[in-house]
Amino acid sequence: MAKVTIPLGPQHPALKEPANFALSLDGERIIGAAVNLGYNHRGIEKACESRNYTQTLYLIERICGICSHSHSTAFARAVEEVAGVEVPIRAEWIRTLVAELERLHSHMLWLGVAGHELGFDTLFMVSWRDRELVLDLLSKITGNRVNYGVNKLGGVRCDITQEHIDLIKPVLDQLDESIKYYIELVTNERTLAARMLGVGTLNYDDAVAYGASGPVARAAGVNRDTRRDDPYAAYPEIPFNVIIDDHADVYGRAVVRALELVESVKIIRFILDNLPDGPLETRVPRRIPEGEAFSRYEAPRGEDVHYIKGNGTDKPERVKVRAPTMANAASVALMLQGSYLADVPIIVAAIDPCFSCTDRTISVVDYSSGREGTLDWQALRKYSIDWYRSQGIAFDDLSRRM
Amino acid sequence: MAILSILIFPGFLFLAFYGTVFEFIDRKVYARLQNRKGPPWYQPIADFIKLLGKETIVPNEANRTVFLLLPVVTVAAVTTAFLSVPIWSTQAAMPFSGDMIVVLVLLTICPLTFFIAGWNSSSLYSTIGSQRVLTQLFAYEVPLLMSLIGPAILTGSWSLSEIAAFYVDKPLFALFNLPGFVVAILAGQGKLERVPFDTPDAETEIVAGAFTEYSGRPYAFFRLAIDMELVVLPAIFGAVFIPIFSANLFVGFALFVVKTVVILLVLTAIRAITARLRIEQMVKFCWMFLVPLALLQILINLFAKGLI
């Protein structure tokens, strides 16, 4: 059978978001793979620069639909650092509580997606059913299911009352049961193991060299977790284990995520039992002084990095977001080498990709010459005016007539 | 009379209706096993009618005649096969000596048409899908045939009706066929291209496999043929491996429904509790596990023949 190159994406049922994988196939084996991102550029970083900090927080939370709290916490911490504001302890603990609830529902979502990619729809349905329990909790605590809007610059928006604690605790017991079931399923179900063991391998050295982060790195034995290595919020005071596995394949990633669910439940229990008293927020000045800050955050998918630069006004000079998928996407091409076409969906899904969160830049490619370059604002404006004029639409003429 | 049995009962119309009922039971039970609500009873029929009303798009590179004819061939093959399968009594509508082989050959026509359909569509996804259809065919066809040869050896007949009649006479001999029954169910799951053997139309890998380019009426008839296959295989298994028949027409028909539904429920349960295997894992499973088990079945029956 001759070599064929098959495009996986930008539109493909295995992908939840547009991305493109150009796969060279020899029969069912993949002999070469290239990852092309850049179908989801939304210009969020640029949009942040024209909004004040409160509005930016609102926008940053919408970078990702799953790890929304991760992004907003990372951003808020960076701003608070520049402004020199100390966040009250209780607020830090509430942020941590929501962060762990978010990790719970994110990992459950991943389990379901992985099940679906492997044709195991029962796991998909069951884990998403249990995920609803967490989403319901979040909506009862914060009023929203996904973009909770818990964070405020300098603190949190809503309190955790005794009623909330009474609400969360029975759900945690319920989750304990289902998590136990997932762990058993992931480790014991034979068809599942047959599809995950030895698939999409990424060894320790490559994981370090390619800068993989989060569960992908931990499944390769890289002992790295920002919550422990560079503790933030309430993590310095909370005991928890960093889950490491040495399978270095999709199976390892599934095991790491399943066991992290257990840790998250433990952390939430600890927070509910030891929630300190105190105020919920510190006032943050409207104008943030000049300065820059860099904040790291262990999102469910890996390490999330935010950088901000203040210039003394109420708008940030520069906001830079590196979502965890950016760190993991590079290693996908390596994982795909030598694997079967049938394994592509699960290998891609195993890094828990979130391509819309990742896309920060686009490059302009001249279709005829294939040359890549960038366009600045003026050139882009001129290009658009010229293009519309070639279509017979002249905006300058229109505005003159109006 | 013959034309009635071909077109209405137990031929095309009955088979088509029963097939949609089976698709509903399959989907509903699958949904309930996954803690979902599942579709209403008329969903498969509604899907069929909806597809009939959709535009039929034929790819430019495909041979138009072949593209449109294949679904009809499939439906015809499945319907013809069903005519020789015993339903309400041990006697099928149109039995003849050696019909078991003919039925199996007719059922092999389905995957062959799927293969040609995918290959003819000349899209990347459907080409890979049809390769997988053929690869899978080589894996399950042998164990499926051998699992049915076992019971046939014991009876000394190649006719499904005579095999059924033999086991009704001597029901205890049916117990010898249990390994064959297991092989038949698993190989049947492969023939029906259902999880864990649904690699040929793995949605998350190759869209809809061989049927990627199909739409409208041709696709509706392919779907119908698959539903019909879902009836024919349990009907064959029920006739060969579960020799419970009645002389009364209505009781016999009720027994047929019970038998086929029970087998369908087993097939659905397998679908709900497993993940999709890769194609080479599937082939390995069939040749390393199903074929030896089917050989064992033949061996058992050769010895059991001495007991008659």
Determine the pLDDT at residue B265: 93
B124 and A120 within 8 Å at the Cβ level: the answer is: no
pLDDT value, residue A1? 53
Residue A275's Cβ-side half-sphere holds a number of Cα atoms within 13 Å equal to 22
Q: Which residue of chain A has the CA closest to B123?
A: A6
- Is it the case that residue A361 has pLDDT exceeding 70? no
Q: Which of B135, B204, B278 to mutate to test the interface with A (most CBs of A within 10 A)?
A: B204
Tokens 């039995």 -> residue: B95
**Residue A4's pLDDT band (boundaries 50, 70, 90)?**
confident
If one compares B293 and A397, the residue with the highest pLDDT of the two is: B293
**pLDDT confidence band for B256 (50 / 70 / 90):** confident
A-B Cβ pairs (cutoff 8 Å, strict):
73
3-state secondary structure of A222: coil
Interchain CB distance below 8 Å, A119 and B276: yes
Q: Considering only CA atoms, which of A329, A325, A328 is closest in space to residue A354? A: A325
Radius of gyration of chain B (CA): 19
List chain A residues with CB under 8 Å of B195: 119-121
Residue closest to A323 by CA, chosen among A62, A80, A46, A50:
A62
Pick the more confident residue, A361 or A298: A298
Of residues B228, B92, B247, B102, the one with CA closest to residue B168: B247
pLDDT for the residue numbered B175:
82
pLDDT confidence of residue B88: 77
CA-based nearest residue in chain B for residue A116:
B204
Spans of all domains in chain A: 44-325, 366-402
User: Among A89-98, A278-287, A290-299, A354-363, which is the least confidently predicted range?
Assistant: A354-363
Write out the residues of chain A at the interface with chain B, using a CB-CB cutoff of 8 A.
4, 6, 12-14, 28, 115-123, 125-126, 129, 189, 191-192, 194-195, 340-345
Residue with the bigger pLDDT between A126 and A15: it is A126
Taking residues B108-133, report their average pLDDT: 88
Decide if B274 and A120 are in contact by the 8 Å CB cutoff: yes
pLDDT above 70: residue B160? yes
- Residue in chain B nearest A27 by alpha carbon: B128
**What mean pLDDT, rounded, does chain B reach?**
87
Whether the pLDDT of residue A401 is over 70: the answer is no
Cβ–Cβ below 8 Å for A340 and B202: no
pLDDT at B97 over 90: no
DSSP codes joined into one string, B227-295: HHHHHHHHHHHHHHH-----SSHHHHHHHHHHHHHHHHHHHHHHHHH-PPPPHHHHHHHIIIIIHHHHH
If pLDDT is split at 50, 70 and 90, which confidence band does B40 have? very high
Predicted confidence at residue A362, as pLDDT, reads 65
Share of chain A above pLDDT 90, in %: 17
Note the pLDDT of residue B22. Answer: 92
Mean pLDDT (whole number) for A179-203: 86
**Mean of the pLDDT values across residues B101-125?**
89
Q: What is the pLDDT of residue B73?
A: 92
Instruction: Tell me the CB-side half-sphere exposure of residue A200, using CA atoms within 13 A.
Output: 29
pLDDT of residue A397: 67
Which of A14, A120, A121 is nearest residue B205 as measured by Cβ atoms?
Answer: A14
Q: What are phi and psi of A12, to 5 degrees?
A: -160, 140
pTM: 0.84
The Cα–Cα gap between A293 and A282 comes to 19
pLDDT at A398: 65
| pLDDT tops 70 at residue A2 | no
- CA B36 vs CA A201, A389, B27, B264: distances in Å: 35, 54, 10, 19
Domain limits, chain B: 2-305
Which residue would you say has higher pLDDT here, A375 or B43?
B43
Q: In which band, very low, low, confident or very high, does the pLDDT at A396 lie, cut at 50, 70 and 90?
A: low
Q: According to the model, what pLDDT value does residue B292 have? A: 92
Please give the residue of chain B at the shortest CA–CA distance from A120: B275
What HEC string does A335-375 produce? HHCCCEHHHHHHHHHHCCCCHHHHCCCCCEECCCCCCEECC
Please compute the mean of the pLDDT values over residues A121-149 and round it to a whole number: 89
What is the structure's pLDDT at A33?
86
Residue A294, beta-bridge partner list: A307
pLDDT category of residue B28 using cuts at 50, 70 and 90: very high
Homologous superfamily assigned to A44-325: Cytochrome-c3 Hydrogenase, chain B (1.10.645.10)
Give the residue-averaged pLDDT of B194-210: 82
∠ Cα B244 B248 B251 (to 5°): 60
pLDDT given at position B277: 87
- pLDDT tens profile A212-246: 888 999 999 888 888 888 888 888 888 888 888 88
Read off the pLDDT band of B163 (50, 70, 90).
confident
Q: How much is the pLDDT for A248?
A: 86
Q: Is the predicted pLDDT of residue B31 greater than 90, yes or no?
A: yes
Mean pLDDT across A24-33: 84
N-term to C-term CA, chain A? 64
A192: nearest CB among B207, B275, B281: B275
In the predicted model, is pLDDT for residue B78 greater than 60?
yes
Mutation target among B274, B282, B289 for the A interface, most CBs of A within 10 A: B274
Helix axis angle, B249-273 to B12-33, nearest 10°: 40
